[in-house]
Structure 1
Amino acid sequence: MGDKYCRLATLLVEICPQPLRKLFLKYMYADTKFHISSLGAYLLARQKELLPLKSKKVINQEEWDLLFPKLGQADETTWDTTILALLITKLFQKQLKQSERDAIEEIRYIRNQLHHKADLSVSDADFDDLWKRLETATILLAKQITPIPQYAVDIKASIDDAMVNNLPKLGDTLRSWIPGIVKSLNLQISNLEDNMRRLKEITEENLKCSKESQTILEDSSVEKIGSSGRTAKRLKTCDNILISLIRMFKTTLYEKLPTDFETPPEVQSIKAKLLQNGHVVVTGLQGSRVLETALATVRDLPYNHERCVEIKAASDWRHVDREEVDLVLCTYPFGDFHLDYKKAADMNEILNSMYQATKPSAGKQPLYIVIVSDVDVFQKFTTKFQHKILAEVVSVCPTTSVEAPVDLTYPNTNTELDINPCNQNLLEAFILERVSRIFK
């Protein structure tokens, strides 16, 4: 510990508190709000104002015991610059002059600066600056206490003596000063421990939140193929239309397929083409129960009905997600019983996309698609548009018997038909097949 540091400590411990103690007593005796009988009585009268400072640890227990000793009376000569500065600015803040307030704050600031100083050596420049500031503040307070100049002169003489002469009371001074340093260091350590503990809590909390966030993110994201062809994570979105398409499929399956429906032989052909190619078109004449046959096929396949959808228009296709759907039932996409040119043109735009979805890619399972259409409407559509997804066709023959024969003249009686030769041959072969079944 250097000589300059010790002289600054002596000034703060031995000399600076002297005018502070007299300033406190001056304002205490001038306080007409309380009947003063002693220092202890005055402090008790104002104890409630000091209790918040104790609860906030601005005043520690040791300092509190000096103010309110369990044995004996309070003695202002035991108070250091810290407690004196605190009491004066707290209890007499309205009475204090601005010059007094500035001087007190200067002394307190320099005292704290030296207590918190890690290196106890002081350079010549720093010593001269700190000494001058402490001297100015202390003499200013001395002049405020009494109009008699002798007190300020005596304080100045004490300061000059501490500046150059021996320090016979240095041991006692350091015994008073060093506990303050220890207390300051303990406070810094305590604050550091609190900060480290809080940092640990924040770190653990952040790790927990990070794991929870990661879990939520993983649960809410799916892998999709980007425009570059690479697999990337994408956030799931709640598609209410997709949910509606799933609900519509289940409604159609349970309401349109009778429980006593006899499975026709075409079901096996539909299954074979669907499993082999990923897509199939199921057609037939009116009354041939085309939809029921397609539904019976789907019912017998091992698909989760929560991952099957029904679409009726081209606009539904963009809501079909291969991550969410295994099978698509496309019912009468070109029109119910007559070709709907608007629906047909829209479907023509997406059939190639549907076909590509039935092919496995990037390790993904293909999407299975069953298209159900009236044979007349389907033939009209294929005369104008050709797509690979329409190549695999299974025609469902209507149920017929001698007692209730099917009307095989239906296509020829439809004045709106415009069938090309190839489709006409297909239709005639279909009729001959049905006739041969009747007379077997």
Structure 2
Amino acid sequence: MVHHGHILVILLIFTDSAQAVQTSDPVGANAPDVSSVYTQRFARLSYLVIELGTKVIRTFFLKDVVRPGITNGEHITDKDAVLRFFGKHEVIRELEKLKKTKVIFASQWNLLYPASGHTDVETFDITLLVLLIRKLHPDKANLKWSALKENATLPSSPQTTQGFIDHIQRLKNVRNYIQHSATFGIQDMEKFCTNWEIACASVLVLGADPKEVKKIQEFNFSKQEIDTIVCEIRSSAEDNKRHFDSRFDRLELLIFSFVRDVRFAIFFVVLIALAINYQWWI
């Protein structure tokens, strides 16, 4: 059985998201069947990625992105290192660019720079952590984030930063698989098994405790625990939808501006042609 402390953590993390998200299809209206073995398996995968996956990626972010950018960073706590890192002018400038171009959206910015002034990396989800690693890693110019084939073989003990990045990318892909599932359950057993194997392998490579992974494999979630997981998934989906809508609106505005400018250019060209034809300047 998973330690009660871990279940409490996930419940606390998900509570705010669950309360904040308003959907037209509340959990109770279309609740997963807790007694179904398929629901339990899907819940295990979701918990594995959302809880352990986020934890190991967070550890990588602190070790490979935050601390190398802090002078004598090894002698201070993670909390202080994070505050110093996000207070650096070059980091603020880079993140402000991402905010301006809608790569980072409002809810993420509020986590990075909350009103309290105390950035808490524990509140960052996989999506935000991966974004920060991609944009702020000191060796980002040499790292590739190309899509990996599901059947691609990755080293179980990476010797380079790129090897760890590949596993992080895979966990992000599994997170997307969970988030984009039509229902909370298994529609394609083969695809589910592939994602389960990928998630287990990658969290272990990135430093998860093998005993913790084994506990999750055998754990049966209660209705309340599954409801909180569903709410977290929906919360992320809603954020992504708002982010997409915002970027789409911006694209639509750019297209409209372009069309307007093209119309003006065409009118101007026609006007010049008429002037030349009728020699209006004479």
**Does the alignment reach a TM-score above 0.5?**
yes
- Measured after TM superposition, the shift of residue 53 of structure 1 is 1.9
- Percent identity over the alignment is 20
Aligned counterparts of 1:19 and 1:100: Cα–Cα separation in 2: 11
Matched-pair contact (CA < 8 Å) for 1:100–1:141: yes
Q: Quick one: which of 148, 163, 167 aligns to 1:99? A: 163
Letter of the 1:215 partner, please give it: L
Matched-pair contact (CA < 8 Å) for 2:70–2:84: no
Partner of 2:23: none
Structure 1 residues 87 and 126: CA distance shift in structure 2, 3 A: same
Q: Quick one: which of 97, 100, 120 aligns to 1:55? A: 97
Question: What is the root-mean-square deviation of aligned Cα atoms in Å?
Answer: 3.6
- Measured after TM superposition, the shift of residue 141 of structure 1 is 0.7
- Measured after TM superposition, the shift of residue 21 of structure 1 is 3.2
Partner of 1:214: 270
Structure 1 residues 54 and 132: CA distance shift in structure 2, 3 A: farther
Aligned pairs for 1:16-27 (under 5 A) are 16-26=53-63
Question: Which protein shows a greater Rg?
Answer: 1
Letter of the 1:154 partner, please give it: K
Partner of 2:188: 123
Aligned counterparts of 1:190 and 1:114: Cα–Cα separation in 2: 23
- Measured after TM superposition, the shift of residue 175 of structure 1 is 2.7
Comparing both structures, which one devotes a greater share of its residues to helix?
2
Structure 1 residues 158 and 86: CA distance shift in structure 2, 3 A: farther
Structure 2, unmatched stretches of 5+, are 1-29, 33-38, 141-159
Aligned residues: 213
Per-residue CA deviations over 1:21-44 (Å, capped at 9, x if unaligned) read: 343455567888334433332123
Comparing both structures, which one devotes a greater share of its residues to strand?
1
Q: Quick one: which of 101, 109, 129 aligns to 1:84? A: 129
Per-residue CA deviations over 1:125-166 (Å, capped at 9, x if unaligned) read: 3322222222221121126xxxxxxx2x2243145236xx43
Letter of the 1:103 partner, please give it: H
Structure 1 residues 6 and 55: CA distance shift in structure 2, 3 A: farther
Partner of 2:27: none
Partner of 1:132: 197
Aligned counterparts of 1:219 and 1:192: Cα–Cα separation in 2: 40
Secondary structure in 1 aligned to 2:194?
helix
Aligned pairs for 1:169-208 (under 5 A) are 169-208=225-264
Structure 1 residues 11 and 156: CA distance shift in structure 2, 3 A: closer
Q: Quick one: which of 66, 69, 73 aligns to 2:111? A: 66
Aligned counterparts of 2:228 and 2:117: Cα–Cα separation in 1: 23
Letter of the 2:125 partner, please give it: D
Letter of the 1:43 partner, please give it: V
Structure 1 residues 190 and 92: CA distance shift in structure 2, 3 A: closer
Structure 1, unmatched stretches of 5+, are 144-150, 223-235, 237-305, 307-440
